[in-house]
Structure 1
């Protein structure tokens, strides 16, 4: 079971370790994006602790520039930058009377493209000078699902309802077509009967 909290699920990045780090909650469970994020991260749904009070999050370093609208993710953003810097926590070996030993942090630097490095630098520079604002909003994470206009989201239930309406209209059109064919047959039969009786039919058409 993957353990997570207010840190990146994959690289363990936090705002404390990287100034300007932004964490984004996973999309709503059960949605198409939820499963796309799991697949992109190489995870299964059983890997996520759904009983945890803290939802799983990813930091901005797992996304490309095209995934962002200013500082927020687009509604269809899917993580695609793997692997990147991975932070590993190592517990200190000694303790003294003054308190617990400080946390040692080691970094395993894996391959990262030049474009991703430049983007990481841009994000960091953008955050410099906004420390007070960042500290006031440090607990704010924006789930991807909120980025979408609710009127533009088509859920499974809405899709099913629309399909039922479409099928109903198709049946109605078919019924009207059958009625029209039946009426045309009756008209043809009446014309034929009148011809047999020697009645001449004159058809008038209005000119415009």
Structure 2
């Protein structure tokens, strides 16, 4: 059985991939490692890539994890790199106003602020059913606030313009976190939100399985 090495979104764990099913493949979740002080997103990507125990791997990243996959694929040979609800370059990231960017970069906000569930997050992520809301709130509640705080800054300071080969980008037409209007994916999931790896797992799984069968 083959392996697909998975990186989740900011602070999330393997629960977010709970409904994905790729015949013939085992999903291997790469747990977060503690970021070093002022570590950049590319630097962190190279460190977490050391957790992958095979050459030319298949990797999969959700949201922030997809950005890490992009950096891994730039530095190391990969068979396939699947990006779900993510961004390949800075051009696919929403533009934040200067005040928000400054607030994130300043690191003034205490870590616990980044692990408090609220209705706004559920709405923007597209969590609609009781199951989805329960999952998202649990992930946020269990997240390491310090990690989320670091990752938020790392994304703001990520300026990648290079799309490496073997990237397959899957995005939802109703994503409000990484807006569909500025995304240029290889595959669209009609009505898919930022949480579509869970809510539209069957469609996402079919696309991945199809790509791997080529």
- Using structure 1 for the length normalisation, give the TM-score: 0.24
Which structure has the higher relative contact order (CA within 8 Å, separation 6+)?
2
Highest Rg: 1 or 2? 1
TM-score normalized with structure 2 length: 0.24
